[in-house]
Structures are given as C-alpha cells and as structure tokens.
Amino acid sequence: MASSTLFSMCSLKSKSFDIKAINSNKEFKFNASNLPVKAMLSSDFMNSRLLTDVNLLKWGQSERLLTDRMQCHAVEVEKVPAYTMGKKFQLDDVIEAQQFDRETLNAIFEVAKKMENIEKKSPGSQILKGYLMATLFYEPSTRTRLSFESAMKRLGGEVLTTENAREFSSAAKGETLEDTIRTVEGYSDIIVMRHFESGAAKRAASTAGIPIINAGDGPGQHPTQALLDVYTIEREIGKLDGIRVGLVGDLANGRTVRSLAYLLAKYQDVKIYFVSPDVVKMKDDIKDYLTSMGVKWEESADLMEVAAKCDVVYQTRIQRERFGERIDLYEEARGKYIVDKDVLKVMQKHAVVMHPLPRLDEITVEVDADPRAAYFRQAKNGLYIRMALLKLLLVGW
C-alpha cells in the first residue's frame, strides 16, 4: 500500500538533527538556521545520519513541521509504502476515533481501495479463510451488521450472528457484558459489537483476548462509520484538508457525528458548522476538543446559509430512542431541519449530501436523484472500510 505522509517528527537536538521517518533509503533537503543539510534515511523507524550538502534531495508530500525554530520543507511529491506487507496492525481493537492518526487513516484508505478491487474483480477471495467473526448487536442495525457480515464472507471468513442480543441472548437473563464477551470469544476470532451503553466497547475490549470492533455504543461513538465517512468525503470531494462540513440534526445523541468530528480534527484548515435544534446541540466535550486541536467551529440556526458554504452537508435523523419518555422534546426537535430541493439549490456544484442512515423525513426522497446525494455511495463504502479493518486486525498489513 502507499501513503503520501512520509515523516512523523523533525527536531533539533544539541546542534545535530534528529529525524524519524517511515520509509527507507530516501533523501531529502531542508533548511535549519539557513544551513542546507542532506539525510539518507535508514530502514525502519530509525534516527537518520546527516551530512551537509547543497543538493536538492527527494522527499514526500509538501509538509512543514516547526520544532525548536527549525523548519523542514518537502520539495518533491513521491508516494512510497508506509507499512510493510504482512506486518501486524498497530491497533488491537477499534473502539474510538481518537485511536487513529492521519498516517494510519491514509494507509487504511489504501487498503480499502484494494478491498474495492477484490469485491469487484476477485470474487471468492480467501484472505480470511479459517477465521470466524461474531456479531453481537444489542441494538437494531441493518447497514452496519450486514456490511460487516458481507465483508467477512467476501474475504472467505465465516460469521456467527445475533441480531438482538439485548432480548434474545443471556443478557435477558441478567448475564453481564463481561461474561458474554468471555464466552463468545471462545467461539470466534473477532467480535463486532453494538451496545446501548456508552463505554460498553471499552469494557468489552478490556475483557476480551481477541479483537473487538465498536459498531456503536449508545450515544458514545461509532468509529467505523466515521472511517467510512472520511473515506467517502475524500472520494467525493477529492481532498480532506481545507474542507467545510455542516453537521446537521441530532448532534447531542448522534454517535456518528461525534466520531466524525474527532477524525476531521486530524486534517488542516477544516471548519465545522453545527446546525441543530436547541435540545440536541453538540455537547461541549466535542467543541472543547476541536478548539484544543485548532479546528474552527461555529453553531448556526440557518441551514440554508451553512449549506451554501459547505463542501459536505452531513444530515442525521432525530433519534426518537434517545428521548425516553420526553416525547415533547422529540417532537420539538423533529422536522426542524430538512434537506430538500431548496437546500440543493444553494449548495455548490461540487458539494455532497451525506447521511449515516436510516433516514426518516430529514432528507426528502426527491433529493435522491441529484448526483450530489452521496448517502447510498457512502453506505457502499462501508463495505470496503470494514473489509479493510477485518483484514488488518486478523492478518495484518
């Protein structure tokens, strides 16, 4: 696989340069205190040996790091492998969006593109032959559960599944989540779990000796949805730096928008607009995180104004199941922001409408025919991302 992000740190130490890189045998040039220097990088993640020279040397994607008043400038774009084939994936579980850095995201997306080729051109893949995945879903799901099961089968693996574990498993008898995980891991090689409690995935991961993938934990996070969302934005818009994204709908209870906000913070010059009814505004922890990461954000009550500015309008449904007995609050929030033909008229030609699905009436059916309606392509991309994650967690790069 290839990546255009080629180094992780550049610093100045005791009149010598310390550089950590992820590719081998590549030379580059940068200026520190107006001194041209050249480095030949050794293999693996090792410190480089530096020699002064005036030649311009090859390096990767244009990027700048400033440490101890030293600037490193790239001079030539060149894609090189970021990870060694067969090397173990650096994550044991997929629990939250904060686990991923930009370099890892780029590499996962490269694997997802390969999975797309496998799905389209190489039916009968046996990459995961002999592996068994258990899907443990305590809340309803269509796209997430089926896409994970399809992903596993398309790579030659097998599936054990329960659709409503809250009602039709031993949880209904009072069994703890920890006991369920200890039992199910004895039957499978990886567990994909959706739960109604925020933090349940972390509990499962701390208990299990096999990989756990969080397929949504109440109003907490949905990291694989965020991965496919960012992948879709890159495929649809053609970039991730410098984009404007409008998050619309139930932002207080929407685990998809929370995870997406965490991932968007990895990119440069991103601005996020929050458009929601007052009762379901984005929570302060996300806003504080974005601020700490230098990401600009703004709350707005005007969907039309935001839609005209954005590259992505990310609509979500108002989640009835999160309101409990407060039906009055649900009715107050529902139907306030709807993406329809009038919204499409003010959107830019290159912009897209996304939605994690299922939808109710927050995107009208007439929008479906517009090429900017990306939500069904978005759902399809979920298959490729989940194929990539299963492959990486079970057999590595």
**DSSP calls for 186-251:** TT-SEEEEEESSTTHHHHHHHH-SS-EEEEEETTS--HHHHHHHHHHHHHHHS-STT-EEEEES-T
231 confidence band (pLDDT: 50, 70, 90):
very high
Q: What is the pLDDT of residue 252?
A: 85
327 confidence band (pLDDT: 50, 70, 90):
confident
Between CA 397 and CA 388 the distance in angstroms is 9
Q: Which residue has the higher pLDDT, 239 or 250?
A: 239
Whether the per-residue pLDDT at 6 is higher than 60: the answer is: no
Q: Which of 36-45, 152-161, 353-362 has the lowest mean pLDDT?
A: 36-45
Q: What is the pLDDT of residue 287?
A: 96
Sign of the dihedral defined by the CA atoms of residues 122, 128, 130, 134, in that order: negative
What's the whole-number average pLDDT of the chain?
Answer: 80
**Cβ atoms of residues 95 and 205 within 8 Å:** yes
Q: What is the pLDDT of residue 142?
A: 84
DSSP-assigned beta bridge partners for residue 247: 274, 314
Q: What is the pLDDT of residue 38?
A: 33
| Other CB atoms within 10 Å distance of the CB of residue 148 | 28
Q: Which residue has the higher pLDDT, 19 or 299?
A: 299
Among 144, 180, 224, 232, the active-site one is 144
Q: What is the pLDDT of residue 143?
A: 83
Between CA 201 and CA 348 the distance in angstroms is 39
Annotation says 143 is catalytic: yes
Section 36-65 average pLDDT: 35
Among 29, 194, 195, 391, the active-site one is 194
Highest-scoring range by mean pLDDT, 33-47, 117-131, 139-153, 371-385: 371-385
Among 20, 143, 287, 380, the active-site one is 143
DSSP state, residue 390: H
Section 181-204 average pLDDT: 95
Between CA 397 and CA 90 the distance in angstroms is 10
Annotation says 349 is catalytic: no
Q: What is the pLDDT of residue 49?
A: 31
Whether the per-residue pLDDT at 30 is higher than 60: the answer is: no
Whether the per-residue pLDDT at 128 is higher than 70: the answer is: yes
| Other CB atoms within 10 Å distance of the CB of residue 253 | 21
Contacts of 151 (CB under 8 A, 6+ apart): 115, 383, 386, 387, 390
Whether the per-residue pLDDT at 244 is higher than 70: the answer is: yes
pTM of the predicted structure, to 2 decimals: 0.76
Between CA 271 and CA 281 the distance in angstroms is 17
Dihedral angle, C-alpha 63, 116, 218, 374, nearest 10 ° = 80
Q: What is the pLDDT of residue 19?
A: 40
For 343-364, write each residue's pLDDT tens digit. 999 999 999 999 999 888 899 9
Among 15, 69, 121, 173, the active-site one is 173
Q: What share of the chain is helix, strand, coil (3-state, %, to 5)?
A: 35, 20, 40
**Cβ atoms of residues 196 and 118 within 8 Å:** no
Among 145, 195, 222, 235, the active-site one is 222
42 confidence band (pLDDT: 50, 70, 90):
very low
Highest-scoring range by mean pLDDT, 15-19, 139-143, 194-198: 194-198
Section 193-212 average pLDDT: 95
Q: Which of 65-69, 304-308, 374-378, 392-396 has the lowest mean pLDDT?
A: 65-69
DSSP-assigned beta bridge partners for residue 125: none
Annotation says 355 is catalytic: no
Section 362-386 average pLDDT: 97
Q: Which residue has the higher pLDDT, 105 or 26?
A: 105
User: Phi and psi dihedrals of 164, rounded to 5?
Assistant: -135, 75
24 confidence band (pLDDT: 50, 70, 90):
very low
Annotation says 26 is catalytic: no
SS3 283: coil
Annotation says 69 is catalytic: no
Contacts of 315 (CB under 8 A, 6+ apart): 248, 249, 337, 339, 353, 354, 355, 359, 362, 363
